[in-house]
Chain A
Amino acid sequence: MYVPINLGNMVLTVTLNPAIDKLIILNRFNIHKLHRLRKGEMSLITPGGKGVNIAYTLKLLGHDIVTSGFAGGHSGHMLCDAIRQTGIATNFIFTQGSTRTNIAVLNQKDETLTEINDFGQHVPKEDVDFFLENYERLLNRIDLVVIAGSIPLGVAKNIYCEMIEMAHKHGKKTIVHTVPQYTECIIKASPFVINPDMRSHHKLFGKKVDGIEQFIETGRSILIKAVKTEYVVFTHRIENVVAVTRNKTYIIRPKDLKIVNMLGYADAYLAGFIHAYLQGKSIQEMLKYASATGLTNVEDLYKEIQDIKKIEQNISRIDVEEVV
């Protein structure tokens, strides 16, 4: 078993709406049919939710991690047990509801991925208050905060803003990866890195945002509004990742991409980004490392990277173009 080396940075990842991820890998998938798994097919159950996935990869890369959010019921205990088995510390607030299950069906023959994500548990206000109290305490012992994923039912849309502002008061940088509707809310709180999750909605500020030109234009306009933000990264198009910084803009392209499973790609990308940033790599090296981590993830069948040595090997397959 690979034993990570502790790099001395403590990262807090927050997943307000975590999940048990059930991935079913089939050779053929048809609706209105009974499927019994056969040889060569499989069903995997892993802890999930964006912040949890990021925590997994960061732990593999040698960081000390504490992960927080809301959990509940038997599935919540299952989630926390599985996370702790990897050596990550858990600090979830348990509520009356149950942690959701997200289902993904990977059809190997047709190379299609179908995902069904549940709503998740409803979180009452007193549990939100308890979570924020707990979160503020955690800020005293960590170096960096990663906030990722959706917001559960019952929780105010501006909670990410509140969390970013609390982190800033404690002098801690924040990295946020969430869907456009929450991305728009967090701009005034101005986190260190904004990574919009554009998988299901390609609109930001009411405008379609897809393709290099629009990513660059939107990234630059976000940086004007979000005065403390240093990076806006669009990872949605793996073949053309766009990173906009205060001084320069970069397009990052992997060579000879062989996608096997896109599940968890952006989470792996962000984990690679954070690892490289905490190691003090230059911007170009950092962006290369992040893309190599994402690339390693999508070229493997599993949601999590199995062999971190492949990341270093894949760096040479990443091209970074500087755009004026």
Chain B
Amino acid sequence: MRRVRDYIHKDLSCVNENSSLRRVINTMKLHRISAIPVVDVMGNYIGCISEKDILNAAVPSYMKSIYNTSFMAHLDQITSNLQDILNEKAMQYVDNKYPYVRPDDSMSYAADLLYRTKLRMLPVLEGETLIGLITRIEILSASLNE
């Protein structure tokens, strides 16, 4: 059976619970990733923040309830809201129910989780410690070299 431990993308990039959203967005941009793990001072995993979580915080609730917002094409409210929350802490926006996998989990389980949740990456945890990531491409390329 193909296990997660043999395919981990060993990138430990993460942000601190006290990092600002400015830092979170900048890190995601420079690392070219759509979600990033958040850890506490000891390095224990708390959850992840995705681009979607940040956008969700910036979209006003009235806009979420409107079926079509095309008539508001000239409004700049979301980017302006984003500007307002840049100095807020990552902790406020972290998704602590973001799914994760363990090194002993099967790659099929990780693949299924990514497929069902439509996420692009899953953190890999050993105990409470982040040891890397599994992304869609690790799943797709798992059988390439066999």
Contact = CB atoms under 8 A, between A and B. Distances in A.
Given A89-B131, A94-B30, A130 B19 contact: yes
A63 B64 CA distance: 51
B86 to A, nearest CB: 13
Interface string B14-46: 101001000100010011100000010111000
Contacts of A87: 10
B53 interface: no
A66 B12 contact: yes
A88 B23 CA distance: 25
Contacts, number: 46
Contact of B31 (A84, A94, A130): A94
Nearest to A126: B23
Interface stretch (A33-41, A135-143, A174-182): A135-143
29 contacts: A66-B12, A72-B30, A77-B32, A84-B10, A87-B10, A88-B10, A89-B11, A89-B12, A90-B12, A90-B13, A91-B12, A91-B13, A92-B13, A94-B27, A94-B31, A96-B30, A126-B23, A130-B19, A130-B23, A134-B14, A134-B16, A136-B41, A137-B39, A137-B41, A137-B42, A137-B43, A138-B43, A140-B42, A141-B129
B3 interface: no
Interface in B43-89: 43
Interface of A: 66, 72, 77, 80, 84, 87-92, 94-96, 126, 130, 133-134, 136-138, 140-141
B136 interface: no
B7 to A, nearest CB: 12
Contact of A137 (B10, B16, B30, B132): B16
